[in-house]
Amino acid sequence: MSKEQVFLLPDVGEGLTEAEILQWAVQVGDSVEINQVIVEVETAKAAVELPSPYAGVVGTLHAKEGETLPVGKPLITVLNDVSGTPDVTEPPATDAASAPDREALLVGYGPQEGSGRRRRRRPGVPPTNQPTASTPLQAPAVAPAPEAAPAPATERTAAKPPVRKLAKDLGVDITVVTPTGPGATVTRDDVRRAAEAELVAAEPPKLGTPATPATAAETRIPIRGVRKHTAAAMVASAFTAPHVTEFMTVDVTATMRLRDTVAARREFRELRVTPLLFVARALLLALRNTPEANASWDEPAQEIVLKHYVNLGIAAATGRGLIVPNIKHADRMSLRELAEALAALTSTARDGRTTPQSMMDGTITITNVGVFGVDTGTPILNPGEAAILAVGAIRRTPWVVTDASGTETIEPRWVTQLALSFDHRLVDGQQGSQLLADLGAFLHDPGLAML
């Protein structure tokens, strides 16, 4: 007989309540092994691939691609053929460390111990959408034919989550796109070419009929996933924490010279040394004088929670929307370690591989609006944090320079604008001003960090 094992959608991040099914990696009737990726889902924080905790044959997929499923609801049913074998109690869940080849992404969920051996589907039993009890097989009157090979699992097209999202938005079936990327992966250009080919192949509209329906003047996009979470978080932050934003224009010429010096050093030659690295370092130093900006407001307990560590958030724009992964214990890092962490964070976000854990427990955030050529802004606090810093574009600007004798001259200098928003419940005006002034002083004269 077949034993049904139902895998419920787990909480893939602390406190998440639902996830959208992006793409199934298996179909009904496929054989699956323990730890085999079965589905890619998108939560309010990230896209995550879920491995199967069971081995057997897929009996039912309980949701279609594009559907949103609540946490705790059935996701997939796996049939385990136990006929002719003794009953075996369900093995206990393994610790995350027992699966070294896979990073633990899920909260309260891990694959089960046991053989990773693929179990064959019994020949002659067609796959169905609903699990059914198997019927006994009669002995054949003639010599049996060789056992048929099990149906192979559907091969999954290699493509990064942002590329899959683009294909979904353009209505392109990614499984038929010809890959040109490294390792036969599908790239954004591959998807765009496929979309253009479909447009060319499409039948032109008949004479006298509109090329597009009237409704094409508007596009309605469902609010879900990262966008839904970001919208809710920003509204909650804007109407919960009383925001104050202060601005400062800073001559960062000395920091730009330091950047050039550091980038030329042997231990930094393989790293991308950007001005953001020095802004992050300066903020970490400035927080030592204003720890109130590295705190949170606990409303139920009516307490202010001062954090004795800094998990530095870096706002990143991705194909799925704005995310804020953070660098854990950034205050304990050397300059090189911080540069490596920033590079890894940026690369992971760009590739759509940011995990929910990397976006949890942030304490303060930097948003680098300067990369878009923007001079400044009024950033909204990341919920649960007391401050956020916006860094504007660094430009060559005429600047009044005063020498040691008091003589003033106008010189071209590297100049940027800083905008610091803070929660006025946690940080008063003097403290917020002190933090911004210290930050600006470190960027104007990095030698002050030596004092």
Residue ranges with strand state E in 368-407: 387-391, 395-402
In 3-state terms, what secondary structure has residue 243? strand
Could you tell me the two tokens for 11?
């909480």
Report phi then psi at 279, rounded to 5: -65, -45
- Number of C-beta neighbours around residue 338 at 10 A: 20
Strands 312-314 and 364-367: parallel
Could you tell me the two tokens for 138?
């009669």
Distance of CA 182 to the CA centre of its chain: 22
Q: Of 62, 243, 424, 444, which is the active-site residue?
A: 424
Cβ proximity of 254 and 444 under 8 Å: yes
Burial zone of 174 (CB within 10 Å; 0-12 exposed, 13-18 middle, 19+ buried)? buried
- Number of C-beta neighbours around residue 105 at 10 A: 19
Which residues are CB-contacts of 221 (< 8 A; sequence separation ≥ 6)?
Answer: none
Is residue 229 flagged as an active site residue?
no
- What DSSP letter does each residue of 11-77 carry, written as one string? -SSTT--EEEEEEES--TT-EE-TT-EEEEEE-SS-EEEEEPSS-EEEEEE-S-TT-EEETTSEEEE
User: Which residues are known to be catalytic?
Assistant: 424
